[in-house]
């Protein structure tokens, strides 16, 4: 591996790294992409299930949505999107409800028949039952926004499963607001101008992005096994965990991860929707995915379906998903970012690099702007 022959070294063949690679190659730069997994695409990776032929997202359902016209134009260079519109349902006490909380959710849960103009007054009465003026933790903040009954039904158990922490021990700042809809609109991404699933899945996007004579992709290679071979004057775009890059100099950042359990069901349709949440703590998984519903344009000729149960776990360092933005981790990541700023040839970005949860469109936007910044440096 002749590292010195490349203009740019990229760690990670996920969305951030692949956009950087595509932009750099388009400008005539020689790029090497180092990926420790056996596939490109990062957590967006999709493949076809052998038993059912259904395309599924290996690391959890990814819905592309954005209102950024530049990002939408860019991603459409590599794929076409179907007309899928995301909706989320939640099971509580063996009954299905719509999420985010809307008029149907409230009427169904309380077994009433409110009109749109009555919803806010009703919620205020629920909130005033406890009258929490200065919430000191996540639970108190949630109750101050929706009342105890809705909180305990739809948020408490799910939050405990997702973070494995008592909501009373979580900071109130985690929860800024709860979106309530006073009508029956069940569209999940209400403010997105563009939404859909790539026809054929996400993996073909990455194949096209990285299909260039100026790009070499090395799979099953750990960046840290070759880091010492990189000349100091080379530009590195690192999209892995920021703390690991600096050998945990200031300590290890905390992450949550996800585990998935695939099952083949001998029915044509198991749950009637792509994602079903389970809000009760006694049910160990947080969600069930049924990926065939992501592709209404495909007619699957099968009496089988694929479901995937999702479990939230503490990450052991192998597959971080969600940053835990408590005070300890926020202080630690600032120290690591200061280290990055001291290296003019180093860009540490993406969800893992920034220690922030990003939607896909935000990751693309960030990659495009980061490359533009890099271009100005080398002009």
What residues act catalytically?
Answer: 177, 181, 256, 287, 310, 357, 359
Token pair recorded at residue 332? 């630690």
Token pair recorded at residue 53? 């032929």
Torsion (CA) 271, 275, 280, 283 in degrees, nearest 10: 70
Contact 378, 24 (CB under 8 A): no
How far CA 124 is from CA of 23, 193, 318, in Å, comes to: 51, 32, 44
Instruction: Return the exposure string of 49-76: e unless at least 16 CB atoms fall within 10 Å of the residue's CB, then b.
Output: beebebbbbbbbbbbbbbebeebbebbe
Other Cβ atoms less than 10 A from the Cβ of 249: the count is 11
Angstrom distance (rounded) from CA 373 to CA 71: 17
Angstrom distance (rounded) from CA 56 to CA 59: 9
Cα-trace Rg, the chain = 23
Tokens 């180092």 correspond to 34
Angstrom distance (rounded) from CA 86 to CA 274: 8
């Amino acid at each position: 591996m002749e590292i010195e022959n490349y203009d740019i070294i990229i760690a990670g063949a996920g969305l951030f790294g692949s956009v950087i690679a595509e932009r750099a190659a388009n400008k005539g730069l020689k790029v090497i992409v180092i990926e420790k997994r056996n596939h490109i695409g990062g957590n967006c990776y999709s493949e076809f299930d052998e038993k059912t032929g259904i395309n599924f997202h290996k690391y959890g359902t990814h819905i592309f949505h954005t209102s950024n016209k530049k990002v939408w134009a860019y991603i459409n260079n590599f794929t076409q999107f179907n007309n899928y519109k995301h909706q989320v349902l939640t099971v509580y006490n063996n009954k299905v409800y719509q999420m985010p909380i809307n008029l149907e959710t409230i009427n169904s849960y309380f077994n009433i028949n409110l009109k749109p103009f009555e919803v806010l007054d009703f919620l205020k009465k629920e909130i005033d039952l406890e009258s929490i003026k200065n919430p000191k933790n996540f639970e108190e903040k949630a109750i101050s926004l929706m009342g105890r009954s809705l909180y305990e039904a739809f948020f408490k158990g799910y939050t405990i499963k997702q973070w494995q922490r008592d909501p009373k021990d979580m900071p109130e700042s985690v929860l800024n607001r709860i979106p309530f809809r006073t009508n029956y609109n069940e569209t999940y991404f209400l403010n997105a101008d563009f939404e859909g699933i790539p026809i054929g899945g996400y993996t073909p996007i990455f194949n096209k992005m990285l299909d260039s004579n100026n790009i070499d992709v090395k799979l099953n290679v750990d960046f840290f096994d070759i880091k010492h071979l990189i000349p100091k004057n080379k530009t590195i775009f690192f999209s892995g965990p920021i703390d690991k890059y600096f050998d945990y100099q200031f300590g290890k950042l905390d992450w949550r991860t996800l585990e998935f359990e695939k099952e083949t069901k001998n029915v044509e349709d198991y749950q009637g929707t792509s994602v079903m949440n389970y809000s009760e703590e006694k049910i160990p998984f947080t969600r069930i995915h049924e990926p065939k519903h992501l592709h209404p344009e495909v007619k699957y000729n099968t009496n089988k379906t694929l479901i995937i149960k999702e479990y939230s776990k503490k990450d052991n360092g192998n597959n971080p998903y969600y940053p835990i933005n408590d005070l300890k981790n926020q202080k630690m990541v600032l120290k690591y970012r200061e280290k990055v700023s001291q290296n003019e040839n180093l860009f540490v970005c993406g969800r893992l690099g920034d220690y922030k949860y990003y939607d896909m469109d935000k990751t693309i936007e960030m990659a495009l702007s980061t490359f533009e910044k890099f271009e100005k440096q080398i002009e």
